[in-house]
Amino acid sequence: MSGSTPAQERDEQLLSIGHQCSSKTCGLVDFLPFKCQHCSLPFCAEHYLPNAHSCEKYDETKFNRVAPSCPLCNDVISIPPGEDPNIRMERHFTTDCTIMTGKPKAKSKPTCANTKCRKVLISPISCDKCKHQFCPQHRFPNTHNCAALSNPSSSKPTNTFSASATNISSQTSAATMSAMAAIGI
Can you give the CATH number for the domain in which 120 is found? Answer: 4.10.1110.10
Residue 127 counted as domain residue: yes
Number of domains the chain is built from = 3
Give the predicted TM-score (pTM) of the model: 0.35
**CA distance linking residue 130 with residue 151, whole number of Å:** 11
What average pLDDT does the chain have? 79
Report how far Cα 122 is from the mean position of its chain's Cα atoms. Answer: 11
Q: Are 28 and 18 in contact (CB under 8 A)?
A: no
pLDDT tens for each residue of 81-123? 778 888 999 999 898 888 888 877 766 778 888 888 878 888 8
pLDDT tens for each residue of 26-69? 888 888 889 999 899 999 999 999 989 889 888 877 776 778 88
pLDDT at 4 > cutoff 70: yes
Residue 119 counted as domain residue: yes
Helix (H) or strand (E) holding 88: helix 85-91
18 and 53 both lie in a single domain: yes
Query: What integer is the mean pLDDT of 161-183?
Result: 59
**CA distance linking residue 42 with residue 53, whole number of Å:** 11
Which structural domain, as residue segments, surrounds residue 133?
A: 107-154
Helix (H) or strand (E) holding 125: strand 125-126
Residue 180 counted as domain residue: no
Question: How high is the pLDDT of residue 181?
Answer: 66
Residue 74 counted as domain residue: yes
Question: How high is the pLDDT of residue 174?
Answer: 59
pLDDT at 132 > cutoff 70: yes
Query: What integer is the mean pLDDT of 146-154?
Result: 67
